[in-house]
Chain A
Amino acid sequence: MEQSGIKDFIAARVAKELKDGDVVNLGIGLPTLVPNYLPVGVSVTLQSENGIIGTGAVNASNHDPIHVVNAGGAAAAVAQGGSFIDSATSFGLIRGGHVDATVLGGLEVDEEGSLSNWIIPGKKMPGMGGAMDLLVGAKKVIVAMEHTAKGAPKILKKCRLPYTAVKCVTKIITEMGVMDVTPLGLVLTEYNPEFSVEEIQAATEAILIISPEIKPMFA
């Protein structure tokens, strides 16, 4: 598929996972596109771990980057009915299971549902920020990422980079398909009809269990 459309394609599929009323934390990059694709009638509360419950659109009248930013440090706003909280409260909510879903990208994810996305030793040491807490605490962890990195599999038998968290991922959504993490391994439940199941397996190091109810994405 065309590279330019991949991120939006994945984001649109992630959006179908969210339910009306969910409290959701979105990682930076691709996950921030998800709200653009929420189905009609589905409204979610976006949580920003630096201390906003219910982020809203920034406009000329509420633009105040001195006092209101999101978890990426960019100007943000609070929506009607939202609130500001401090970091201890924010992470209490995250670890305490009060966040319904988190959507974030990954460098590697494996068949046990462990994720690596915060460090490339000796090369990039940005830090984990709030990712480790979100992975451990959110009820649903959705990894939204491109299936491969320049053709090299990112969905592995076992992550080779240092873990962000172990056995935490619920679902992996890529431009090739949708995979559930189960005690038996990764179950391919949906495929993008642009690819055959064989092609998806060939781009995946982990063995995919093909769901008996497998169906095309967006069907």
Chain B
Amino acid sequence: MPKFISVEETAKLIPDGASIMFGGFMGCGNAHRIIDALAKSGVKDLTMIGNDASLPGGPMGEEQYGVAKLIHNHQVKKLITSHVGLNPEVATQSMQEGTLEVILVPQGSLVEMIRAAGAGLGGVLTPTGVGTIVEENPMCLGKQKINDREYLMMAPLRADFAIISGYQIDKAGNVWYRGSTSSFNIVMATAANVVIAEAEQVVEIGVIAPENVRTPGMLVDYVVEGGLY
């Protein structure tokens, strides 16, 4: 059974220098309240792993949306991601100020590298990136030819923490995602030492039909009720 904690308590779990996977896509499906707590706590030197750097300007008028807050606050020293183009702050910190290291990975490789780590696999063989500068990526372990097709060998990717976001989470930690928010949340829940899940709504066991559970509660260590949007 997961432990139910307050939003403020989540920040106390995460020390300076931690690596954190964050689910979501361009802010949609980020664990917004947990990110707010981290932004407030001032935790620093974080390695953040996720699809993108989100963007300034959220749908509810947020100045910085989702994970963009932590980048804006200079709390992130390394970002492993597939796309940063919608958040100009990343270019400022990585190319001009030199304070943020960005490692770019193709989106499909990134999600599969995380899945591999969570599924106990030694890596991923993918045709994506062959003949490109992805071959020079520190997480690319080499090339392999199978049936005359070339593949890149990509390392599995784990983190200290995963912060994921579901619409409803029941008292057993089972997660149901709404709309397109499942994105990276599902694989990330399998590939971190500690999984903290934010619910918009915590519900009783049984409210989420077992067949609608996308992340089983056994993967979730902590649940936070963030509130409905």
Contact = CB atoms under 8 A, between A and B. Distances in A.
Interface of B is mostly: loop
A75 B107 CA distance: 20
Contacts of B27: 69, 73
Contact of A68 (B84, B106, B179, B186): B179
A175 B82 CA distance: 31
Contact of A87 (B60, B183, B214): B183
Interface residues of A, number: 46
Interface in B178-201: 178-187
Contact of A88 (B84, B106, B186): B186
Interface stretch (B40-48, B69-77, B127-135, B138-146): B127-135
Given A128-B82, A133-B128, A91 B182 contact: no
Contacts of A165: 128-132
Contact of A65 (B59, B111, B115, B167): B59
Contacts of B51: 50, 87
A163 to B, nearest CB: 5
B108 A95 contact: yes
Interface residues on B, range: 35 or more
Chain A interface, DSSP helix/strand/loop, else mixed: loop
A126 B102 CA distance: 10
A50 B180 contact: yes
Interface string B25-56: 11111000000000000000000000110110
B132 A87 contact: no
28 contacts: A50-B51, A64-B179, A66-B28, A66-B229, A67-B167, A69-B28, A71-B25, A73-B28, A76-B180, A84-B177, A86-B183, A86-B186, A86-B214, A87-B107, A87-B182, A87-B186, A88-B186, A91-B108, A91-B111, A122-B95, A124-B85, A126-B84, A126-B86, A127-B82, A128-B106, A136-B130, A137-B127, A163-B131
Interface of B: 25-29, 51-52, 54-55, 59-60, 81-86, 91, 94-95, 102, 104, 106-109, 111-112, 115, 126-134, 167, 177-187, 214, 229
Interface of A: 48-52, 64-69, 71-73, 75-76, 78, 84-88, 91, 94-95, 114, 119, 122, 124-133, 136-137, 162-167
